Amino acid sequence: MLRLSDTLRRNLLTQPETGMGYQRVDATLRDNKTERGLVFNAELLVLDGEAQATRRSYPYNDPYSILLKSAPQSGVEIRALRVLPREGVAFRGLETKALEKKAGSAKDAATEKTKADEVFKRFSAFPNDHRVNADGSLSPGSYATTEEDAKNVKTGSDAVARYALPNSDPASYRFTIKPNKDTEIQYGTVEAANGQPGGGVEVIFTTGTQAKTVTGPDKIPDK
């Protein structure tokens, strides 16, 4: 967690928000590596890779003003920040109007149909995920994410943060879902909750998926 310099702050203020009060960014670090994160109020940067304990402290345990005061200055640690385009958050390359529609959570979105060969991922802290049925189907009302969004998740802890999961145990079991064409689905963006920043794409299979559409899980690193 870093407090941004005035220069970085001014730069962010010229760029659009990703959601109310925050921007999803790629930060270029001192060693020229890039790390994704969230900037709150154009001033407080929380990188995706930060310890869960740090991430959980915002905004529930400590008032924002105290966090901001205690956060070290970004100084030379951050060379540059680039706000991800909204397409980078919702990913599907849809027209602007459709993207705006998906800015909220999936449960509030209109029901759509999946396209042929679309792939989704589901992260779970449990290898015996009870939403995955013995016949390889997914129960109605189950959540998942797009294959594209899942590429941002390298560890089980990433999944907890990105999908704002209430269980802090790493969701390191990754299931793959390949539903039939025209399966009912709702798309949305995960809102900050449970002390986690959210920001990932979420989908709900409102009527579940068909038999033999779920495989896995494969195990990704916890941290």
Q: With contact defined as beta carbons under 8 Å apart, do 153 and 220 qualify?
A: yes
Pick 45 or 164: Cβ nearer another protein: 164
State whether residue 8 is helix, strand or coil: helix
What is the contact surface with another protein in residues (CB under 8 A)?
122-126, 128-131, 139-145, 159, 163-167, 171, 190, 193, 202, 204, 206
Distance CA 45, CA 181 (A): 40
**Residue number with CB closer to another protein (71 or 144):** 144
Cis peptide leading into 63, omega within 30 of 0? no
Give min distance, CB of 71 to another protein, in A.
28
Q: For the CB of residue 143, give the shortest distance to another protein in the complex, in Å.
A: 4
Q: Going edge to edge, which strands form the sheet with 22-29?
A: 2-3, 44-47, 34-40, 22-29, 78-83
Closest CB 142 distance from another protein, rounded Å: 6
CB of 10 to another protein, least distance (A): 36
Q: Does a cis peptide bond (omega within 30 degrees of 0) precede residue 217?
A: yes
